[in-house]
Amino acid sequence: MLTLWDLLEPRRKRRSKRRKAPAPKPRPQNNRASPMRDRYDELAGRMLSEHSVRVRKWRSSMSGVAWQVTYADGTISRLIEAPRPRGPMSAAVFLHEIGHHAIGLGAYSPRCLEEYHAWRFSLDTMRREGLNVTPSVEKRMQESLEYAVYKALRRGLKRLPTELEPYLPKAQAWVLASAARAR
């Protein structure tokens, strides 16, 4: 009796007789780091050291998280996961996560206010360091804070801090739309 493997075997043999494609020529490697890459690396190292933060993982996506672990002996490890700063957007997300530790995790209530201050820290640091704050970075901050306000309203926030009022109109529309869907 023939099996599926018996039928595939001749094809394997045919494939081995084919001429292999030539290997691609290696591109010349530029081992020198660019001046901007050096600036981003220096900034990342300085911020991590200055705020006693350790990177648990460099993310490939433009997202991040900040947290801290308190051990039984009282020591605290400040940790983040963020993209390695390579351009304006990755630097903004990285600095936003550093900002959570710089301002103090849980120092602001409600949570959306902490997000606001972490974003302010990020953009202020970028401007102070002479890094380019692009329109896409500002849009990312805008959308992130609109979503944070939306979540807070959805969870029953009674009073919105005045700093977050510019992010309210879209959030109100989202809350009304989700309330309509719930009916």
pLDDT tens, residue by residue, 80-139? 999 999 999 999 999 999 999 999 999 999 999 999 999 999 999 999 999 999 999 999
Residue 9 has pLDDT above 70, yes or no: no
Q: Per-residue confidence at 34, pLDDT binned at 50, 70, 90?
A: confident
The CA distance from 64 to 57, in Å, is 10
DSSP letter for 137, please.
Answer: H
Nearest in space to 65 (alpha carbons), one of 81, 87, 45, 41: 81
Give residue 3's pLDDT: 73
